Structure formats: C-alpha cells, structure tokens
Amino acid sequence: MSRTGITTVVRARLVKAALEAARASYSPYSRFPVGAALLAEGGKVYGGCNVENASYGLTLCAERVAVFKAVSEGRRTFKALAVAGGRGRAARPCGACLQVLSEFCGPDFPVILSSLDKPGKAVAVTLGELLPQAFKKTEVRRQKTVVRIKN
Ligand SMILES: [Zn+2]
C-alpha cells in the first residue's frame, strides 16, 4: 500500500492498462503517445489515448478521453488514474485534464505517473499535489440575480 492508498497490485494493473492504451495513440504531429487508465468504482478500468488532429487545437489528451468514456457510460466515482507517457521521465497531465479530473475527484485522488520505457519507476502522486487550487463546482452557484461587476 502506498501513501496514496492504492495497492501495488492495483498500481501495476493500471500502469499496464495505461501502457496498452498508449499503443492506440493517434499522435502523428507530436509523436508523443500517451495512454491513461481510469479505475472506476466497481473495478472497471477505462482506457484512453491522446487523439491529435491536423487542426491542433482539437487534440484531446488521453486522460480526458478516459474520463469522458467513463462518464458517458454513467460512471461518476473513480479510485485512481494511471498515465503513461514520455521517455525517461514520466509525462504529467496538463492543466485541462487536471481540471476535468477535479470535477469528479478530490485532492487525495491518486494519479500514477509512468514513462513509456520505465514503468517500474512509476510514481504515485495526488490530484491535489498536481492541481492544488482547482476551480470547483461549489464555486459555481445559481445566482438569483446577475452579479454586478464593480469597476
Ligand atoms: Zn491533458
């Protein structure tokens, strides 16, 4: 059991799934394949890979693909995420993906980071460490009146 509360067995399973997901990566422009594996409550793992586009801004990261796949199948509660990308040093999720994760996961949510070539050196961190001050849904409240902006 690591400090993030996930067992080494689960950790290894998720890293393996993230590496497998990276094989499907469509990354002809960056040549930077990334895979993600999201463990949902109940044990199902949702894989995702980065999908690039000739119109670069339409590219979607592996992490968001995994989250959107899971959410589109009715999942809302997640236990851990593994991300596999980079060589030598494990790739970190981008800010957009961390924000999407923070919609469903708290600051203690485990994120396992692995490079593509050294999965045995994967490290587990928390979502809160990667995005300490996420914009949360509690900050978006229905207003009875339009908020007037003072200038
Ligand atoms: Zn991203």
Q: Is the pLDDT of residue 53 over 70?
A: yes
**Neighbouring-strand partners of residue 38:** 46, 81
Compute the distance from residue 74 Cα to the ligand 1 centre, in Å: 22
Q: Reading across the β-sheet that carries 45-49, which strands appear in turn? A: 45-49, 34-40, 78-85, 110-114, 123-126
Q: Is residue 2 part of a domain?
A: no
**Quick check: helix, strand or coil at residue 71?**
helix
Please indicate whether residue 103 is annotated as part of the active site.
Answer: no
At 97, which CATH number? Answer: 3.40.140.10
Pairwise CA distance, residues 97 & 59, whole Å: 12
Residues in the chain: 151
User: Which one from 63, 73, 103, 129 is the annotated catalytic residue?
Assistant: 63
Q: Is residue 73 part of a domain?
A: yes
Q: Is residue 84 part of a domain?
A: yes
Compute the distance from residue 29 Cα to the ligand 1 centre, in Å: 16
Q: Is residue 148 part of a domain?
A: no
Q: Is residue 126 part of a domain?
A: yes
Q: Is the pLDDT of residue 72 over 60?
A: yes
Instruction: Report pLDDT for 6.
Output: 87
pLDDT tens digit sequence for 88-133: 999 999 999 999 999 999 999 999 999 999 999 999 999 999 999 9
Compute the distance from residue 103 Cα to the ligand 1 centre, in Å: 14
Q: Is residue 145 part of a domain?
A: no
Q: Is residue 64 part of a domain?
A: yes
Compute the distance from residue 64 Cα to the ligand 1 centre, in Å: 7
Q: Which residues contact 80 (CB under 8 A, 6 or more apart)?
A: 4, 6, 10, 11, 14, 38, 39, 109, 110, 111, 112
Chain centre to alpha carbon of residue 111: 7
Q: Is residue 21 part of a domain?
A: yes
pLDDT tens digit sequence for 18-51: 999 999 999 999 999 999 999 999 999 999 999 9
Question: Residue 122: which domain range?
Answer: 8-139
Number of structural domains the chain divides into: 1
